[in-house]
Chains A and B, each alone.
Chain A
Amino acid sequence: MKLEDAKILIGDDSILARKQLKDVLTTFGGKTFFEAANGQEAIEKFTAEKPDIIFLDIVMPQKDGISAVSEICKIDPNAYIIIVSSVGTQSQLKSAIEAGAKDFIQKPLNTEQIKSILSVKFEGR
């Protein structure tokens, strides 16, 4: 699959963070985006849209990113979730991976790191 054809879900409580990630993904060819402002909304958007890749923040109101990863993976164990967070501590990284996340991006965003993560999942990147 190519990123151009992928459904992309971005879950972050910050409208700015969502926009910044969307801008980076757009430069790599991303076209179809869904957004969620907290963990609960991310689960609902996941169920409704079945995105091919999900980017989730950890610290969010209502339901945090790690809980959302667990619930999404219960719905679909093959869900492809990347955590994007400023809190890349040892315990957060461990919890995210144990919950089922595939990778972890530490903010501020590093375009090269995003590119390399996309190349694992998508063709032609």
Chain B
Amino acid sequence: MYTQFFGNFLLSRGVVTSEQLIEAIKEESTTHIKLGTLAIHAGYMTASEADSIVIMQTHEDKRFGELAVQGGYMTEEQVNSLLKMQKPDYLLLGQILIEKGILTNTDFENLIVDYQSEYEIYDLDMATEKKEVVTNMLKNYCNFANHPEADKAIHYLYLLFNNLVRFIGEDFTALNPIPCPEYPTNYCISQQTYNDTLSITSAIDIDPNTAVAFASRYVDEPFEDFDEYVKASLEDFLNLHNGLYNVNLSNDFSLELNLNPPEIHHYDVLSLSSNAYLFPVIYPFGTVNFLFSF
């Protein structure tokens, strides 16, 4: 999982111009990922080893994989595992920039390391114990198994708990989720992220005192009243989480979702889909109710 799209990272590093980036993105749909790119990313080969195979290919009519095995850089099993693996979008973007001569293989190798160290969310955000609790909770209480997009829902919820740890704190207890097609709200913020095949609505419902404490932790400023800044903090948390989810789907699955602005519900009934759950999360300062529907 990443907190920033690779193209955005390249732009902010100043290694590509916005024009070069757009040209590269446009070529993605007609370009195939190469084995050399995958081998560098998997750490099986260095950039210079991959370059030397490409040079060999200019005077030997053999596939990259064959030459890499012949040269002792990879085993056949490794070649096969690379061909079968899920290919993150950012690798393709990197490869196109290399082919255009904007990056060298070595630049790309170094940039990937920096990108991962700066923007990958490692599981370390969540302690192993907590990770197991969340994984078991999702597996045992959410009946998504038959849904074609179940993996995206699990990804979403996993990221949500990760973001709670990252932005609010790890000192929570998550109660088991409860099926919840309708929900009477206190003060509630909801937001929808969607495309043609997937629609996820999530919401935070919270009482005013808990909201003040939640916002104080999120913004790292001591709020005292349930004012517009506190309300905006709740919206901001949900919006940030959904934005990061969209970045992840774009980066890892080449899937683009649209995000609607957050909506406020005050003492009304929120109607959700049949695949909707309430996740009560208990912090020392109060209970935050998360609603998830897809």
Look across to chain A and name the residue whose beta carbon is closest to the beta carbon of B228.
A15
Question: B229 — which chain A residues lie within 8 A by C-beta?
Answer: 15-16, 19
Complex: how many Å from CA A116 to CA B11?
Answer: 12
A13 to B262, CA, bound (A): 10
Given contacts A93-B8, A104-B11, contact A87 B243 (CB under 8 A): yes
Q: How far is A107 from B219 in the complex, measured between Cα atoms in Å?
A: 13
| Chain A CB within 8 A of B186 CB | no
A91, B256: Cβ atoms closer than 8 Å = yes
Closest partner residue, chain A, to B261 (CB atom): A61
Docked pose: A88 CA to B229 CA in angstroms: 24
**Which residues of B sit under 8 angstroms from A24, Cβ to Cβ?**
none
CB pair A60 B261 closer than 8 Å: yes
* B90 vs chain A, min Cβ distance (A): 9
In this complex, how many residues of chain B approach chain A with their Cβ under 8 Å: the count is: 35
CB contact between B247 and one of A19, A60, A89 (< 8 Å): that residue = A89
The answer on a CB contact under 8 Å between B250 and A91 is yes
CA distance A104 to B247 in the complex (A): 13
CA distance A16 to B227 in the complex (A): 11
Task: Tell me if A13 and B261 are in contact (CB < 8 A).
Answer: yes
Which secondary structure dominates where chain B touches chain A?
Answer: helix
CB-nearest residue of chain B to A106: B4
Task: State whether the Cβ of A26 lies closer than 8 Å to any Cβ in chain B.
Answer: no
Q: Is B89's CB under 8 angstroms from A90's CB?
A: yes
- Is the interface on chain A under 10, 10 to 19, 20 to 34, or 35 or more residues? 20 to 34
In the bound complex, residues from chain B placing their C-beta under 8 Å from that of A19 are 229
Known: A16-B219, A87-B243, A89-B247. A106 touches B236 (CB 8 A): no
In the complex, residue of chain B having the shortest beta-carbon distance to the beta carbon of A101: B18
Given contacts A14-B239, A59-B261, A94-B22, contact A88 B232 (CB under 8 A): no
Distance to closest chain A CB from B65 (angstroms): 29
Q: Once the chains bind, are A89 and B232 in contact (CB under 8 Å)?
A: no
Output the nearest chain A residue to B12 by Cβ-Cβ distance.
A113
Interface residues of A (CB under 8 A from B): 13-17, 19-20, 59-61, 85-91, 93-94, 97-98, 102-108, 113, 116
Q: Which residues of B contact A (CB under 8 A)?
A: 3-5, 7-8, 11-12, 18, 21-22, 25, 89, 219, 228-229, 232-233, 235-236, 239-240, 242-244, 246-247, 249-251, 254, 256-257, 259-261
